């Protein structure tokens, strides 16, 4: 479904030492594939390029070399407006800090991408939002201000928002990075359930508890793939991941 082919990204900047322009390589010739229904976790130390990879794959960050093919379309050749349309209709995004509009209620935040897409009647979108909120166990909170709910509730709400246009893939950047362990578990259960129903997921995380739910783990170091692992479905997967993370 998504083919990442030899992508690299480098940025020009000034050297902190001497006053000369230098080119920093953030991603180096990365290739992998995400199949439909896949659950890919990208791990790696801070600054290894995980977020950059996620944003590049979803067409929000420009790459300097390589190709990203989404459903047979080459993202690198698309203009900004068509990329925005693609993100609106086929991709869902969840960020570390929910990123909602402060002047809208929780519910209005959720339905916003649906209203912008203008594909369906507002009532259809509202009903779907209600269903999603029920699933994520936050029904009844719709009227609240986004500052009046907990971090976990907000993050579950942002999964609802990401799902509002029935996307084909969910992209998440450290979705549990700001949550306590109970809230993390709730979010992870939701992601697992969505994936069981066929939702394709790519998440960035440094938390092995998140990664252990994935089908495939990619480990980045200094912008390069240091290792890639398919996790088995057995009960030993936790141990399996632990062992792999130690040697990767």
Ligand X SMILES: Nc1ncnc2c1ncn2[C@@H]1O[C@H](COP(=O)(O)OP(=O)(O)O)[C@@H](O)[C@H]1O
* Residues near other proteins, by CB under 8 A: 51-52, 55, 60-61, 80-81, 84-89, 91, 93, 95-97, 99-102, 112-113, 116-117, 161-162, 165, 173
Q: In this complex, which beta carbon is closest to ligand X, that of residue 17 or of residue 182?
A: 17
* Residue owning tokens 């259809």: 124
Best CA proximity match to 207, nearest among 238, 231, 232, 163: 238
Whose Cβ is closer to ligand X: residue 50's or residue 87's?
50
State the nearest-atom distance from the C-beta of 27 to ligand X, in Å. 8
When asked if residue 184 is in the footprint of ligand X (CB under 6 A), the reply is: no
- Counting beta carbons within 10 angstroms of the beta carbon of residue 140, is it exposed (0 to 12), middle (13 to 18) or buried (19 or more)? exposed
Indicate the residue among 222 and 240 with the shorter CB distance to ligand X: 222
Residue nearer to ligand X on the CB measure, 50 or 213: 50
In sign, the C-alpha dihedral spanning 133, 135, 140, 144 is negative
Nearest distance from C-beta of residue 104 to other proteins, angstroms: 10
Distance CA 176, CA 179 (A): 5
Smallest gap from residue 174 Cβ to other proteins (A): 9
- Whole-angstrom distance, CA of residue 38 vs CA of residue 73: 19
Gap between the Cα atoms of 176 and 210, Å rounded: 8
Q: How far is the CB of 89 from other proteins (least distance, A)?
A: 7
CB neighbours of residue 167 within 10 Å: 20
- The residues of the shown chain that bind Mg ion, judged by CB under 5 A, are 51
Q: Tell me the HSE value of 45 on the side-chain side, using a 13 A CA sphere.
A: 7
Shortest Å, Cβ 55 to other proteins: 4
Shortest Å distance, C-beta 15 to other proteins: 20
**Per-residue contact track with ligand X, 26 to 65, x per CB under 6 A?**
x-----------------x-xxxxxxx-------------
Q: Pick from Mg ion, other proteins, ligand X, none: which does 26 bind, CB < 5 to 8 A by kind? A: ligand X
Which residues form the interface with ligand X (CB under 6 A)?
11, 13, 24, 26, 44, 46-52
């Amino acid at each position: 479904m998504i083919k990442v082919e030899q992508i690299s990204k480098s940025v020009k900047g000034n050297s902190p030492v001497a006053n000369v322009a230098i080119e920093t390589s953030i991603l180096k010739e990365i290739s992998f594939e995400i199949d439909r229904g896949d659950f890919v976790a990208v791990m790696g130390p801070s600054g290894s390029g995980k977020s950059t990879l996620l944003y590049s794959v979803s067409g929000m960050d420009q790459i300097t070399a390589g190709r990203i093919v989404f459903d047979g379309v080459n993202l690198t050749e698309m203009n900004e407006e068509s990329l925005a349309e693609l993100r609106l209709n086929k991709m869902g995004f969840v960020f570390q800090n929910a990123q909602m509009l402060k002047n809208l209620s929780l519910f209005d935040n959720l339905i916003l991408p649906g209203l912008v897409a203008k594909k369906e009647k507002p009532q259809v979108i509202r009903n779907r939002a209600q269903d999603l909120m029920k699933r994520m166990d936050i029904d009844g909170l719709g009227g609240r201000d986004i500052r009046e709910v907990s971090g976990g509730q907000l993050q579950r709400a942002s999964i609802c928002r990401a799902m509002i246009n029935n996307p084909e893939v969910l992209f998440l950047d450290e979705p549990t990075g700001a949550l306590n362990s109970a809230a993390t578990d709730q979010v992870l259960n939701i992601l697992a359930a969505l994936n069981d129903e066929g939702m394709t997921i790519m998440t960035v995380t440094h938390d092995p508890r998140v990664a252990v739910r994935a089908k495939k783990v990619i480990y980045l170091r200094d912008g390069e793939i240091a290792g890639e692992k398919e996790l088995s479905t057995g009960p030993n997967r936790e141990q399996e991941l632990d062992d792999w993370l130690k040697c990767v």
